[in-house]
Structure 1
Amino acid sequence: MINKILEFQEKYHMIQEGDKIVAGFSGGADSVCLLLVLKLLRECLDFEFMAVHVEHGIRGEESQKDAKSAQKFCQQNEIKIEVFHVDVPAKAAAAGMGLEEMARQLRYQCFYDACERFGGNKIAVAHHSDDCAETMLFQLSRGSGIRGLTGIMPVRDNIIRPLLCVSRKEILEFLKERGQEYCTDSTNDQDVYARNRIRKYVIPQLLQINNQAVEHMQRTAKLAAEVCDFLDTAAWDAGSEGVIISYDKADTERIRELRMRKDVLARMHPVLQKNFLYQLLGRLAGSRKDIGSVHVTALFELFGQQAGKELNLPYSLKAVCEYDYVWIFNQELYRRENAPDEIVLAPPGVWDLKDGRKLEARVFDFDGDCKKIPEKRYTKWFDYDKINSNVLLRKRRTGDYFITDSSGNHKKLKAFFIQEKVPRLQRDLVWLLADGSHILWIVGYRISEAYKVTQETKRILEVYVSGGNEK
């Protein structure tokens, strides 16, 4: 099996010398196999790897036990591990999402955060050929079209899947030969999850029809991927002349907005039209993960509607029908670029942040009663006489920091965002109250200890950000 995996990873250039890989590790059979395989591959390839275990807060004591087992396994095998604890049920309820999808989102966010701290460049996950077949059937049942038949790709962006060439049966035999134990997730047997029902009932029936059904489905997935690749190229060749693209000012590789000519799209073959629109949405969003046929169809229909009609799409995208074009843009980036780069606070005053919120500031004398200090998220008091220069309200810059405690310890703003698991796309949108590079207040999060009000404070700067939040 190891030789098979080695040839597979070489074919898709998964692991190169000098790589630093973060491996998702649940403690189950598949991920235990993944870590053992990476450990063996490291003997012939010069790379580093670590494990990341995400405890989802779904299975109570069983979940905590799995986290301890994961740590024990890594300790025995001299593998570095980082454990994350997340509350999937609470996050899913707040977002109105299913547990499976929220767990996946939080899990990958943990992988990316750990990868950033580790200085990693790749993330390895333990999908195998049976998972590819399950995904094909799941996508097919949802009406995902030909792209859904591609199943799971061996490599997507910086995510690699070294075990995709082997079956679940081969993995279990590999572990049995080594007498290796592993954890079993009780939720894998619950019929409430669609993928579990496919795994327990659909695939066994297909294997009775043809015992090589999984292998055949994997070959079909490969063929479907090749067809999609061909169609992507043909669609782009046919439609790119009709696109005007504008890039983000802060990140010149990121698309802010684009306009697509109606007449160019109309001349394209029907098969290529929707493919091309799918590509445009994926490029603008930076991901195709949550863009489905329903979104592409709705966008295609917008091209035939009257000027002024609008359509909201995933990833904060919006499409607007114009006379000769359809304009598609990222609402967050557009809002950010049209907001002021910085505001000099000269209290008292009220400033419009151009994102639906306003900021109010005033200075007043303090009587020394610290019990009056507000404990609210969007109203903060600062010792005005400790501020060394003009107070700016702005977005993040290189070198930003704040003081974490009364001892004067510094923390970089970037490190804080990583610690608080603030998504990278949102970090540029967070307002900061700054005294030079020293951050007084990360709006919505915390303030610097250096400007805290004490009994010796003479004057207070009060800052309040409104917009759906109480003082």
Structure 2
Amino acid sequence: MTTAEFEHIIARSTAALGIEQPAKIGVALSGGADSVALLSAYVRLGYDVTALHCDFSLRGDESDGDRHFCEATAERLGAKLCQIKFDTQGERRSGESVEMVCRRLRYDWFESQAKALRLDYIALGHHCEDSIETMLLNLTRGSGPKGLSGISPMRGMYIRPMLGLSRSDIEGYLKSLGQSYRTDSTNLANDYRRNALRNILIPQLYEIIPTAQAGMLRTAEAMSHSACMISTYLRWCEERYVSGGKLDIDAMTRDVDDMRGTLYMLIPQVTGCEARMEIVDQILSEPGNRSSRLFPAGEGKMLELHRGELELYAEADDSESAITLEGDIQSPCGIRVTTVDFDEFARTPKSNDTMWLDGSAVGGAHEFSLRHWREGDRMRPFGAAGQRLISDIFSDLKMSRSDKNRALILTIDGKPLWIVGIRASNMYPVDENSKKIIKLQVI
């Protein structure tokens, strides 16, 4: 491949992503062959580029050497360079691997630089063999079409214009330019699974099956198309079966043939939780159960199935917020507070989203708060003969555990006044003699 052919592929791949000059592009520059080739090609093609270098302070003199090399390379190419030095070990969170913390720090910094420098895109130097490695890793973990598609050429502002090129193409291009590059010694160690794939398994696979690379790239492309089709189908399912974050399992069961596969793929999309087939099977084994069931969903999260609807379980919350009725309430929920006359009260249709108080009867100084319900909470619902446990009101309404935990209670001096948006008490009722009427409306 000639120098011109290599650069033509970069330009064509960039244009295929809908990117035209004078777009401002940041190039992640590690000093390795991939990033140096990408920066060189973009500079030679006349793009407005800024090199972005992260020093993770993990390899001592080698890290310092990478930094100095990137400075010299950017200067020689006439490219702007921004760089940062991280205390990676100091930034590491509990349970976070070195690989994970580096990824988090890198992408957080890229985001901040994109805003500060007004970059339109950030280009990453992944090539086709990186995509094959990702595909094989996902295959061993158990993955569907999306995972077997390899690396996406574009995700948000991140672009990967070298996925159509191989490592040998990149090294040949740099050789034609007389451009050197750095080699990260940790990439030569086979302690990490990706390195072992790159250095041991994939070369052996190519030796046994010389056409393996081309075949796997065709498979990745086919899986990418399949993933797009599945994504379209899942969006259709969401529009049809999801409302208010709840997935209508009963309706799906009536309409969908492959409930097991559809639910497996739809749960992460709707709830953000992982889906395991054994949990899907447990959910589907409860078709006639109307009571609440909780299912583990990874990372301490739970899924709740209640009366044929599945949702991410909402944990109970003991927080309490002091409020006043002097103006609109913004947090923890939006409530508009206004004062009206009896005529407006009389002509306004009544609903659970609105509570009306006789402001004159309220009188004096009171402490108002918004909190979640607690065991033993009681109130006298409007129109009822006596007080009732709020938990019994919830049961009458057939509310799920999550809905109960999400429900907010407006209290006056600690006493429940209104289950916000659900049921009002008859404390301070309005009548034709009310001089001041306070209207509370959920917004």
Q: How high is the TM-score relative to the length of structure 1?
A: 0.61
Aligned CA distance change for structure 1 residues 314 and 6 (closer, same or farther; 3 Å): farther
Deviations 1:335-388 (A, max 9, x none): 8xx975999xxxxxxxxx98xxxxxxxxxxxxxxxxxxxxxxxxxxxxxxxxxx
Aligned match of 1:163: 162
Deviations 1:74-130 (A, max 9, x none): 1222211211222333444x3312222222222111111111111122121000001
Partner Cα separation in structure 1 for residue 145 and residue 32 of structure 2: 31
* Contact 1:130-1:168 within 8 A present in 2 as well: yes
Q: Secondary structure of the residue that 1:95 maps to in structure 2?
A: coil
Aligned match of 1:322: 306
Deviations 1:26-66 (A, max 9, x none): 0110000110111123x2xxx53211111112212211221
Q: Does 1:34 align with 2:51?
A: no
* Contact 1:321-1:327 within 8 A present in 2 as well: yes
Aligned CA distance change for structure 1 residues 116 and 62 (closer, same or farther; 3 Å): same
Aligned match of 1:384: none
Aligned CA distance change for structure 1 residues 59 and 341 (closer, same or farther; 3 Å): farther
Partner Cα separation in structure 2 for residue 260 and residue 153 of structure 1: 29
Partner Cα separation in structure 1 for residue 57 and residue 207 of structure 2: 37
Aligned match of 1:136: 135
Aligned length: 316
Partner Cα separation in structure 2 for residue 328 and residue 56 of structure 1: 37
Code of the residue aligned with 1:265 in structure 2: it is M
Aligned CA distance change for structure 1 residues 152 and 301 (closer, same or farther; 3 Å): farther
* Contact 1:54-1:84 within 8 A present in 2 as well: yes
* Contact 2:188-2:195 within 8 A present in 1 as well: yes
Aligned CA distance change for structure 1 residues 301 and 312 (closer, same or farther; 3 Å): same
Counterparts in 2 of 1:255-404, with a 5 A limit?
A: 258-267=245-254, 268-270=256-258, 271-281=261-271, 293-294=275-276, 298=279, 301-302=282-283, 307-310=291-294, 319-328=303-312
Deviations 1:224-262 (A, max 9, x none): 0101111121233244212113xxxxxxxxxxxx11112
Partner Cα separation in structure 1 for residue 274 and residue 108 of structure 2: 22
Partner Cα separation in structure 2 for residue 73 and residue 113 of structure 1: 23
* Contact 2:55-2:83 within 8 A present in 1 as well: yes
Aligned match of 1:244: 243
Match of residue 8, structure 2, among 3, 14, 19: 3
Aligned CA distance change for structure 1 residues 84 and 339 (closer, same or farther; 3 Å): farther
Q: Deviation at 1:309?
A: 3.9
Q: Secondary structure of the residue that 2:146 maps to in structure 1?
A: helix
Aligned CA distance change for structure 1 residues 229 and 79 (closer, same or farther; 3 Å): same
* Contact 1:127-1:161 within 8 A present in 2 as well: yes
* Contact 1:265-1:273 within 8 A present in 2 as well: no
Partner Cα separation in structure 2 for residue 298 and residue 106 of structure 1: 34
Q: Does 1:198 align with 2:186?
A: no
Q: Does 1:24 align with 2:11?
A: no
Aligned match of 1:213: 212
Aligned match of 1:102: 101
**Higher gyration radius (CA):** 2
Code of the residue aligned with 1:233 in structure 2: it is T
Aligned CA distance change for structure 1 residues 311 and 33 (closer, same or farther; 3 Å): farther
* Contact 1:235-1:273 within 8 A present in 2 as well: no
Partner Cα separation in structure 1 for residue 169 and residue 322 of structure 2: 57
Q: How high is the TM-score relative to the length of structure 2?
A: 0.64
Partner Cα separation in structure 2 for residue 292 and residue 68 of structure 1: 43
Q: Secondary structure of the residue that 1:49 maps to in structure 2?
A: strand
Partner Cα separation in structure 2 for residue 216 and residue 339 of structure 1: 60
Partner Cα separation in structure 1 for residue 223 and residue 193 of structure 2: 23
Identity of aligned residues (%): 27
Partner Cα separation in structure 1 for residue 138 and residue 155 of structure 2: 17
* Contact 2:293-2:305 within 8 A present in 1 as well: yes
Gaps of 5+ in 2: 1-5, 325-330, 333-443
CA RMSD of aligned residues (A): 3.1
Gaps of 5+ in 1: 246-257, 286-290, 344-352, 355-471
